[in-house]
Structure 1
Amino acid sequence: MMQNDMSRRRLLGLGVGLGAAASLTLAGCGGGSATKSGTATGNGGKDYTGPKVSLNLWNGFTGGDGDIFKKLVEQFNAEHQNIAIAVNTYRWEDYYSKLPGAVSSGSGPDIAVMHMDQLATFAARGVITELDDVAKALELSEGDFAPTVWKGGLYNDKRYGIPLDMHPLGFYYNKSVMQKAGLDPNKPPTTRDEFTAALTELKKAGVQGFWISPFQFTGGMTFYSLLHQWGGTLFDAEVAKATFNSEPAVEACTWLVDLIKQGHSPSNVGQDADYLALKGGRNAFNFNGIWQINDIAKDPAAQIGVAELPQLGTRKAAWANSHNFTIVKQRSADANKVSGAKVFINWLSEHSLDWAKGGQIPARKQVRDSAGFTAIPNVATLAPELEYAAFPPAAPGLGEVMTTFYAAFNEAALGKKSPKQALDDGVAKADKQLEDNRKKYGS
């Protein structure tokens, strides 16, 4: 499970340590106007004909996707003799806390991969630069991407991220366990009635069919999805107030907690125990990230299927996030490096079919529509979730608030508080955090 653990931790660090790290004064990062000598095309990433540049790229791809990413960088370097990309990989939780200080001291990267819900924070702190010219020069528009992914790269109506992919929550089911309970292993439940009926049959067969983790991975992300399926939202439209204690949110949380009370899940499920139980044949259903697809492929004997999340509420919805490319501000601007970075971002975006093999859904529509992508086992299965993916909003400092949201679910799932009390208390704390963020980031 080491690789699986690292894959899980690709997302685990969202928001961890950002409160302290992002509070560093970064005004000096973008203040320099000096440009080093050399000729740069400055055409937004179409090509680069200037002198050779060496660029440093930071990312958090510590799992199997990291190997694929490095191979793509090697291919780019081989095809571009005047641009050399060096890759530095950190755990996401270390990456986000390390980046502001590195940029402030002048030792930051030229290119940085970021999750969509981190763009606003780093844009507000002056860590990353605007990329509107890249989108314009490459003639990229919302029509080339899923609308939610494209809009997620904006902050204050300016573009700071070029989307590479999206990674949603998927529905994993153990065919062998289903069959033993008399269920059709090739027809996973797609509605609430089918889902609860299946759990009833599994319970009769002595199986607790759907283990609910109290942790962000994956119980919190399951609740995040169901809250939206029930018609709720985490925040209001301005991200000024938390709304995850609304009536639909309480109903969704209560439904999950009741499954524990009814014996369909053990209480106090350990971190990753739900997923391990699925692979070990001790439960039947698990909501987990698309990043587990390559892991289940290693053990075909486990007979794990993959499908879109069932619609348990009044509408379809699934937790999702997205990786974006950003260009980091420097103390002294180097037009050649910036031009070379833009060429790399465009090149990798165009080669996102190869990236999809690492367990990601390409952001570019033309790649998703290609025969090559639809042929990738299971990954393409989750691509339709793009149409109803529930992405986090673009708001500075959101990571800390999301931690509060997941902590509220944790208290409800562990029975420490009733769902309503847990969510009410979480919203009270989140509202204070959102107020503090407006003062801190000036928006």
Structure 2
Amino acid sequence: MSHPLSRRRFLSATGALGAGAFLSACGGGSASPDSEPAGADTPASDTYDGPNVELEFWNGFTGGDGPFMQDLVDTFNSEHDNIAVKMTVMEWADYYSKLPAAVSSGRGPDVGIMHIDSLPTNAARGVIMPLDDVAAALNLQASDFADAVWSAGEYDGQRYGIPLDVHPLGFYYNKTVMEEAGLDPDNPPMDRDSYEAALEQLKSAGIKGHWMSPHPFTGSMTLQSLIWQFGGSLFNDDGTEVTWHEDPGVQALTWMVDAIHNDYSPTDVGQDADAIALQNGQAAFNWNGIWHINSLKEVSGLEWGVAPLPNIGGTQAAWAGSHNFVLTKPRRPDENKLNAARVFVNWVSKQSLAWAEGGQVPARTSVRESEDFQALTEQAAFAEQVEYLHFPPAVPGISDAFADFDQALNEAVLLTKEPAQALEQAAQRAAKKLEENRDKYSG
């Protein structure tokens, strides 16, 4: 995204991890009466030999990433005479609200994008269709992608997403501020002892080094990362129980609150104020998403760097989201469109270096390990975390619980409740929602 507000609008619509709302894709188109299906097993992964088709492609890339995706679509269209992809972009919130009705009325898109945490909910509601046959037709294997993101695209034993990228949280640091405090600007602190020592040195220089956000963006992402780093989890493995209130969660949230008590962070940090403080030289450190890279590149004269998240809790871990290609259940299946969509999805996946330039880590291993991607210094630093990124369990409605998680974060960081109390009360509320969702989605 080109500006923190673009990501904030996304998060306000989807929750800290994305609400289990709708953002998807495929086609409401019906088969043309005079066209012959090309056959599901006929096209190779990179060719489509059927009649001319037009694919509707919806997404919410309204920020700086949008032009990069449009360039990919334009290039694809120029190379494929019999496939015309039309991209429609809208705010994620509008996308979520419009998609269900569009799909049910047969006017939905043919291809679309969905955040990975929304896949199970949409699968359970019958909005999106399984993609095991698509993955097989494209000869996609688990080894083609980062393990965490490939596994997270499955629900109830079937695949519902083809991963395009991962967008992790990472560590930004202001080199000028570090140098002013006597810190080495080329060696940011990467473990708890050195990080806290750096914060203390910054404090001695009159600088509040790391502003702790009480908001879902970026506070919730920070807290989730810390819980995993301290050896904990947000839920049990099958997503039926809340576990964020256990000891690792309390340690993680206490570490954030202690930054305020120790005067390393101001109180009542506003939305996006942590990112702005880094840009303006008021803070040295900021944990933020990969989408923030291009924002900082636009700030004239700013000396900054990025690195994987420091390991505060003893276990390497980081929050991440992911954009996935999805197909929705059409009212009348059209094999030609399905085959053309396969070609489009596979082509973009292979060409996703251009997408990485927009501020993402390619999910596809071959692209991520290429020399061209490694030359994207900042994105490559974020990609170092790919083997220990975390996603929520594949459970319908799991995101409903995050409203309570975010409330606990807010209460503790704003110093209105102790961390243990805030997390315990939030867990009790969230547990009821998980139980309600089991009944809601069981049929």
Q: Same fold (TM over 0.5)?
A: yes
Indicate whether 1:42 and 2:47 are aligned. Answer: no
The alpha-carbon deviation at position 147 of structure 1 amounts to 0.8
Quote the Cα distance in structure 2 between the aligned partners of 1:318 and 1:42: 39
Contact 2:164 2:362 (8 Å CA) reproduced = yes
Quote the Cα distance in structure 2 between the aligned partners of 1:371 and 1:382: 15
Equivalent runs, 1:89-168 vs 2, <5 Å? 89-168=89-168
The alpha-carbon deviation at position 416 of structure 1 amounts to 1.7
**What's the secondary structure of 1:13's corresponding residue?**
helix
The alpha-carbon deviation at position 377 of structure 1 amounts to 2.7
Indicate whether 1:405 and 2:405 are aligned. Answer: yes
Contact 2:68 2:355 (8 Å CA) reproduced = yes
Contact 2:37 2:334 (8 Å CA) reproduced = no
Alignment gaps of 5+ in structure 1: 23-28
Quote the Cα distance in structure 1 between the aligned partners of 2:126 and 2:28: 9
Equivalent runs, 1:381-420 vs 2, <5 Å? 381-420=381-420
Deviation sequence 1:370-419 (CA, Å, 0-9, x none): 11100013001111101111112211112221222122111111112111
The alpha-carbon deviation at position 97 of structure 1 amounts to 2.5
Deviation sequence 1:252-310 (CA, Å, 0-9, x none): 10111111111111111000001001000001000000000111112251111101100
Quote the Cα distance in structure 2 between the aligned partners of 1:237 and 1:399: 15
Q: Which residue of 2 aligns with 1:339?
A: 339
Contact 1:203 1:209 (8 Å CA) reproduced = yes
Higher mean displacement: 219-228 or 128-137: 128-137
Contact 1:58 1:88 (8 Å CA) reproduced = yes
Contact 2:27 2:103 (8 Å CA) reproduced = no
Quote the Cα distance in structure 2 between the aligned partners of 1:249 and 1:156: 28
> TM-score when scaled to structure 1?
0.94
Cα–Cα, structure 1 residues 400 and 203, in superposed 2: closer, same or farther, change >3 Å? same
Cα–Cα, structure 1 residues 357 and 334, in superposed 2: closer, same or farther, change >3 Å? same
Cα–Cα, structure 1 residues 315 and 146, in superposed 2: closer, same or farther, change >3 Å? same
Q: CA RMSD in A?
A: 2.1
Quote the Cα distance in structure 1 between the aligned partners of 2:2 and 2:75: 28
Contact 1:168 1:290 (8 Å CA) reproduced = yes
Q: Which residue of 1 aligns with 2:370?
A: 370
**What's the secondary structure of 2:114's corresponding residue?**
strand
Deviation sequence 1:413-435 (CA, Å, 0-9, x none): 11121111110111111111111
The alpha-carbon deviation at position 69 of structure 1 amounts to 0.3
Q: Which residue of 2 aligns with 1:55?
A: 55
Contact 1:57 1:112 (8 Å CA) reproduced = yes
Indicate whether 1:360 and 2:360 are aligned. Answer: yes
The alpha-carbon deviation at position 33 of structure 1 amounts to 9.9
> TM-score when scaled to structure 2?
0.94
Alignment gaps of 5+ in structure 2: none
Contact 2:368 2:374 (8 Å CA) reproduced = yes
Quote the Cα distance in structure 1 between the aligned partners of 2:31 and 2:67: 36
**What's the secondary structure of 2:378's corresponding residue?**
coil
Indicate whether 1:328 and 2:312 are aligned. Answer: no
Q: How many residues align?
A: 436
**What's the secondary structure of 1:301's corresponding residue?**
coil
Equivalent runs, 1:174-323 vs 2, <5 Å? 174-299=174-299, 301-323=301-323
Cα–Cα, structure 1 residues 410 and 191, in superposed 2: closer, same or farther, change >3 Å? same
Quote the Cα distance in structure 1 between the aligned partners of 2:371 and 2:87: 30
Higher mean displacement: 410-419 or 174-183: 410-419
Higher mean displacement: 9-18 or 268-277: 9-18
**What's the secondary structure of 1:206's corresponding residue?**
coil
The alpha-carbon deviation at position 181 of structure 1 amounts to 0.5
Quote the Cα distance in structure 1 between the aligned partners of 2:357 and 2:225: 25
Q: Which residue of 2 aligns with 1:25?
A: none
The alpha-carbon deviation at position 9 of structure 1 amounts to 3.1
Q: Which residue of 2 aligns with 1:26?
A: none
Q: Which residue of 1 aligns with 2:82?
A: 82
Contact 1:242 1:430 (8 Å CA) reproduced = yes
Contact 1:35 1:332 (8 Å CA) reproduced = no
Contact 1:7 1:62 (8 Å CA) reproduced = no
Quote the Cα distance in structure 2 between the aligned partners of 1:2 and 1:308: 20
Quote the Cα distance in structure 1 between the aligned partners of 2:284 and 2:93: 31
**What's the secondary structure of 1:378's corresponding residue?**
helix
Residue identity over aligned pairs, in percent, reads: 53
